[in-house]
Chains A and B, each alone.
Chain A
Amino acid sequence: MSQNDQSISKVLPILKRSVVATFIAFFLFLPTLGIKTAASGGVDGLFLQYRWPLLAIGCGLVFFGRIAYELMSSNKEGKQQKQAAPSALARALGSSKVAKAVAPLLLVFGLIFPFLPSSDRYILDLGILIITYVMLGWGLQIVVGLAGLLDLGYVAFYAVGAYSYALLSIHFGFGFWMCLPLAGLLAATWGVVLGFPVLRLRGDYLAIVTLAFGEIIRVVLLNWRSFTGGSNGLSSIPRPSFFGLPFNQEPGGFAATFGLEYSSLQRIIFLYFLILALAIFTYFVTGRLRRLPIGRAWEALREDEIACRSLGINTVNTKLSAFAIGAMFGGFAGSFFAAKQAFVSPESFNFMESATILAIVVLGGMSSQLGVVFSAIAMVGGVELLRQLQFLKVIFGADFDPSQLRLLLFGLAMVLMMLWRPRGLVSTRTPTVFLKDKKTVSAAMISQGRG
């Protein structure tokens, strides 16, 4: 009897909260899922389509989702304290010993990856894409993770690199290896150009200015038609060759010279190793930079700018070098991108790219180099998996496009990952040198007024 009462008193509030959540969700979904504005093609323009089943499904999902969440969190109540500590996996990946063991394994896997029997053209392209993002992530990590300067316009430097390669190779006939350092240099220059005005800004202001800068670059690329080709972009960019041997069927081509049978896969494999080499270069350079005085200065700047200045660190040079070096790697990656695609257009450099790279860095744990690798695989690979969601067409009808859902779920994943693990998958965002443990101020303590 009493046990029954108890279980009812437990269940009732859960039900009540779930009903409230469903009620709210009803209003949220009503103008989106419930009612669709559709074009009639007539003069009037629009009419409404009512989709009550879809609305009911949405509300039902919220109702049961909320109940499931309540049940899960009531089970976890006792373990609340444990939640705050990073998981064993995160700690293990964060520790340098494990990292030293995992990194070579990843490298070996990266090296044999193109020769695995399962690697076809599609898988290789995906691999190239992931490594490009890993490289961009490492570049941005210097700015965001180490120096603590939130950059929402990183894609601008990627664009500068890509257009540098495209323009230099089209107009001057420069080869890839000549363009690569030039693209990096130009991107770094732009990094300094952006860095100078924003030296005095901090935190969120900096974020918005860099975002505005990224948009400015994109708008200029879009409208300066005589120089950048406008929205048509630049096509017929020369492809990189293997030490002067082009990847084609000609007698002087790569395949003929080495006595191999020609295959279009050879060029892809070459591009794969090219980006792998660039990424490894980025890994070592950024890894070494962290241990140099400049790297320590970046970290110090992230922790406390005023203390930094009072200790005699030149914050101007420190910030500018972070921007410049971060931008340089963005430029390298950009010129690789242009070389791979043989086509660049402003479409490829929108804000979503910046958001993706930033999400990779943040989810990777801000300053963990290995974390970036895992989160890039998770983000890019995960989004790519969503492309395979063709079965949803059966549920939602033939005109349903799963690729729309891709970005939707990407945004949702960004929120959920952040809520689940605000410090990223691999949490090592503690200074490498410190005196004593920092005070932890958790959200729970703030709400109790103990922050």
Chain B
Amino acid sequence: MHYFLQQLINGITLGSIYGLIAIGYTMVYGIIGMINFAHGDVFMVGSFVSLITIIIFGITGTSNVFLGIGVLVLVAAISMVIAGIYGWTIERLAYRPLRGSFRLAPLITAIGVSIFLQNFVQATQGARVKPLQAIISGGFTLLSSDDFVVRITYMQILIVVLTFLLMAGFTYLISKTSLGRAQRACEQDMKMAMLLGIDVNTTISTTFVIGAALAAVAGLMYLLYYGVIDFYIGFSAGIKAFTAAVLGGVGSLPGAMLGGLVIGLIEVFFAAYFSSEYKDVAAFSMLIVVLIFMPQGLLGRPEIEKV
């Protein structure tokens, strides 16, 4: 029971990170109907920017949690800006010229961008893993029995709280602001939105920037949580986050979050109770099973076939 509870906490933390990445996928897929294959690598770049910023600020494991969090917010802001610029540039250079081309074209360039980014970071930052000492350490002991202690660390609390704050913020953005209305209009009918005077290009660019910024936050959390990153983390995290987006229902923000949590929990529980080597197989099999039996996802609308 204690073991289960501990895995539940770990799974929710991991799921929050996946959920944040999944939002970028789901928003982009909703608006232009393409899998932004390079999104996982933007997450990886965000993680590297965070690492560099943390070293610049020179924060190490401080005992003062509030000072640590204050600096981390600044770190998050910087990596959000730079990852946002990455997202904008990728859309502008690799996807926009191909809008209206045949359907596979942007997916192919997305794969190209993904390969490029991975190897660009590998070439400039080196192939070795980058370790980082824990910045926020410590935590509560929730339950303890003679042989097992259930702990929740401050880091895990921070990740989950920050994720839900960002989620709430962006749900508000999509449902209440004019940008959100423009996004939903483009999602429904891009041509009609254009006729009604919505600047479609700007709306799509903004979507990419927002997605990339959220991925950067996820990258920072991943860095702080695991303490090691390398240039390859974007690939598997990207696929799992996409799985989360599909599982939750593509185009739905709460769905992406829910999907992220489910994938995180599946991965952690599978690793805890069966085999950690096959945890990726569990996550990917989940994707296949969901797509077969529930193609519209948990919270998505069924897709209507148009002739």
Residues of A within 8 A of B (CB): 24, 27-28, 30-33, 35-39, 44-48, 144, 150, 152, 197-198, 200-201, 203-205, 207-209, 211-213, 215-216, 219-220, 222-223, 306-307, 351-352, 355, 358-359, 362, 404-405, 407-408, 410-415, 418-419, 422-423, 429, 441-443, 445-447, 449, 451
CA distance A421 to B108 in the complex (A): 12
Q: How many A-B residue pairs have CB under 8 A?
A: 200
A355 near B100: Cβ-Cβ < 8 Å: no
A223 vs B278: C-alpha distance in the bound complex, in angstroms? 8
- A197: B residues at CB distance < 8 A: 288, 291-292
B281 within 8 A of A: yes
A418–B109 touching, CB < 8 Å: yes
Q: Mark B95-136, 1 if CB is under 8 A from A, else 0.
A: 011111111110111011111111111111111101111000
CB of A178, distance to nearest CB on chain B (Å): 31
**Chain A residues with CB below 8 A from B278, complex form:** 219-220, 223
Tell me the smallest distance from the CB of A356 to a CB of chain B, in Å. Answer: 9
Q: List 25 A-B contacts (CB under 8 A).
A: A27-B85, A31-B45, A32-B45, A36-B126, A37-B52, A45-B131, A197-B291, A203-B103, A204-B29, A212-B243, A212-B287, A213-B288, A215-B284, A220-B278, A362-B108, A405-B119, A407-B118, A407-B119, A411-B113, A411-B117, A418-B105, A418-B109, A443-B98, A445-B100, A447-B201
Closest partner residue, chain A, to B280 (CB atom)? A219
Q: Are B125 and A200 in contact (CB under 8 A)?
A: no
Contact digits for B273-307, partner A, Cβ 8 Å, 1 yes 0 no = 00101101100110110011001000000000101
8 Å CB contact of B132 from A46, A150, A198, A443? A46
Query: Is B86 in contact with chain A by the CB < 8 A criterion?
Result: yes
B284→A449 contact, CB < 8 A: no
- Cβ contact within 8 Å between B119 and A404: yes
Quick check: is B55 within 8 A (CB to CB) of the other chain? Answer: yes
B interface residues (Cβ-Cβ under 8 A, vs A): 29, 33-35, 45, 48-49, 51-52, 55-56, 60, 81-82, 85-86, 88-89, 93-94, 96-105, 107-109, 111-128, 130-133, 191, 194-195, 201, 235, 239, 242-243, 246, 275, 277-278, 280-281, 284-285, 287-288, 291-292, 295, 305, 307
Q: Which residues of A contact B275 (CB under 8 A)?
A: 223
Task: Tell me which residues across on chain A come within 8 A of B35, comparing CB atoms.
Answer: 204, 207-208
Q: Is the Cβ of A449 less than 8 Å from the Cβ of B108?
A: no
**Are A411's CB and B116's CB within 8 A?**
yes
CB < 8 Å neighbour of A200 from B49, B101, B108, B295: B295
**Which of A200, A209, A351, A419 is close to B98, meaning CB atoms less than 8 Å apart?**
A419
Q: Which residues of A contact B133 (CB under 8 A)?
A: 44-45
A219: B residues at CB distance < 8 A: 277-278, 280-281
Q: Tell me, in angstroms, the Cα distance from A268 to B268 when the chains sit together.
A: 48
